[in-house]
Amino acid sequence: MTETGDTALNIAAGHGRLAPVKSLIRAGAKVELRTIMGRASGDPVETSALLQACVFGHYDVAIELVLAGADIRQESSKKQNCLSLGAGRGHAMIVSLGLGLRLRALGPGGSDTFIDTPRLPVDAQDIHGDTPIMRAIAGHHLGTVFTLINAGANVFEPNKKGATPLLSAVRESEPGMVALLTSRGAHKIPGALETAIRESQALLTKAEAALKELSLAHATPKAAPPAVTKGPTTSELEAIEQGKISSQKAILFHLKKKVGETEREATCTASPEPNTSSCS
């Protein structure tokens, strides 16, 4: 074990080095050994070789560790398992592993044997109350969000800060995710649409103000050349804010459309004999 808490197996797994992982397993490395990583960064977390493989998306290494006896159900000290870690990074194959697979391995005498990996809870919450779908939204991984919804993920469950998947998608300026979530009814819990619209409008106003300030700064003549900085340029920051504005306008348009649809549905449901074309 190194001074930072790493083991050789952890390092090899985290870097996706399949051949060294196989060699270490054959040499007797403990695949279930837990270690503390991240001490130097001030954010230590108890982890394992399998969790390292999952967070960095090394599917072949993760499979090798599972076949060697690593429990796919293990969690880090932050209560994040392979499904949660894979979702947060958008690793499609790791997510599929977390949702349950049948693995083929070489059995005694060279015959094939099959191992069914358990399906991890699709709505398991970490220490922050975030589920895999919440982590996928935060990571801007639309495909992963779609996969998790199809696997039965709860689109209503809030985290410990009260943010639902829909509200999180609004905050991440993700109109595609907002459309996907509302298509699965995420806006139908009481107050969800109103809260999302208020949040989107506030973010739009903030982005417009930031863009105006940047534009003024950009247009102001400078007596001397600007100092060289490592951060984004004014033009790049303007592009970022313009992207946020476009996204929030699209989100607002979609959410307000949903308000109209919801009101029509309520009217048609309440009427014993709906006779308007809007109810057809």
Give the domain ranges of the chain.
Answer: 8-154, 156-217+235-264
Distance CA 32, CA 28 (A): 11
Q: Residues 76, 38: contact at Cβ < 8 Å?
A: no
Instruction: Fill in the DSSP letter of residue 112.
Output: E
Q: What angle do the packed helices 59-67 and 18-26 form, to 10 degrees?
A: 10
At residue 222, the pLDDT reads 63
Contact 133, 146 (CB under 8 A): no
Series of mean pLDDT values for 10-residue runs along the chain (280 residues): 71 95 95 74 78 96 94 94 97 95 66 80 97 98 97 96 97 97 95 96 97 83 62 89 97 95 80 62
| pLDDT at 274 (0 to 100) | 57
Fold of 8-154: 1.25.40
> Which residue in 204, 161, 187, 208 sits closest to 255, CA to CA?
187
CB atoms within 10 A of CB 185: 12
| Residue 156: CB atoms within 10 Å | 15
Residue type, 240: I
Cα separation, 153 vs 186, whole angstroms: 11
**Strand 35-37 relative to strand 102-106, pairing:** unpaired
Instruction: Decide: residue 12, CB within 10 A, 0-12 exposed, 13-18 middle, 19+ buried.
Output: buried
| Both tokens assigned to 252 | 């607002």
